[in-house]
Amino acid sequence: MNIGVYKTLLEKGYISEKYFLDRGYTTGIINDQNDMDIVEYKAVLLDGDGDVGYFTARVLLELGLNTNTCAWVVSQNNDFSQKNLYLNLGAMGCFSGDVSFDEIVSTVNNVLKKMNSIKSYDRHPGDSDIIFNKEEFELKVRDQRIQLTKLECKLVSCLFNEFSKTVSSEKLAVELWGEVKKDSSIRVANVVHMLRNKIAQRNVVEGQLIKTTRSKGYKLSDNVVWKEQ
């Protein structure tokens, strides 16, 4: 299970990866360039100090569309109004500078274990089957229809045809726009990001339907059953 940690927390020594590794977690480093991948983590730890606070606030707003990623803020600043802001934006909690590594890891671990136990009771066979209708430009999940744009439909179609495989950003760019340009990976990431948010707003399926294979590309989740109509 992956935990995302903003890079400055590691650089300043606010967080130690070792404590997460000892609990069986793997950690990934979050920065301004890979923030679109944040929804791939089960939990993220963000820096609430200084100029980074703007990035943290933006990420919390984006995660508000995705209930599957829990976020905490770590800050040396004990300003009540700032902490209250992060909590109102959706943070699970705010850790101050006097909190130990072990307390942070234990808190994150307890919340994730509780969430996993709840999900195991809520899940029903067939509830999350995805029906992709290429002709109608839509996904059907739990009797809800999610309308796709032309680009989103092309994206899903390409990933569907390569199911269980990772499709590179370059190949997706060719499918979407017919060519590869310097900013193709960013443009593809933006289409993926918008589609993820569209699906998350419906709250009809657990986890991400489109998985990121870091530095390689994207693939459809194999945690649900995909069907084509």
Domains in the chain, please, with CATH?
2-122 (3.40.50.2300), 130-228 (1.10.10.10)
- Are 146 and 198 within 8 A, CB to CB? yes
Question: How far is Cα 36 from Cα 192, in angstroms, rounded to an integer?
Answer: 9
Residue 206, pLDDT score: 63
Higher-confidence position of 142 and 191: 191
- Are 36 and 191 within 8 A, CB to CB? no
Strand partners, 132: 139, 228
The C-alpha R_g of the chain, in whole angstroms, comes to 19
Question: How far is Cα 183 from Cα 187, in angstroms, rounded to an integer?
Answer: 6
Higher-confidence position of 77 and 5: 5
CB proximity list for 93: less than 8 A, separation 6 or greater: 72, 73, 87, 107
Each residue of 160-175: pLDDT tens digit?
888 778 889 899 999 9
Higher-confidence position of 126 and 50: 50
- Are 24 and 113 within 8 A, CB to CB? no
The pair of three-digit structure tokens given for residue 69, joined into one six-digit string:
């990623």
- Per DSSP, the three-state class of 4 is strand
CB proximity list for 110: less than 8 A, separation 6 or greater: none
> Does 121 have pLDDT greater than 70?
no
> Does 214 have pLDDT greater than 70?
no
Angle between helix axes 169-177 and 184-202 (nearest 10 degrees) is: 80
> Does 155 have pLDDT greater than 90?
yes
Each residue of 8-21: pLDDT tens digit?
888 888 888 888 88
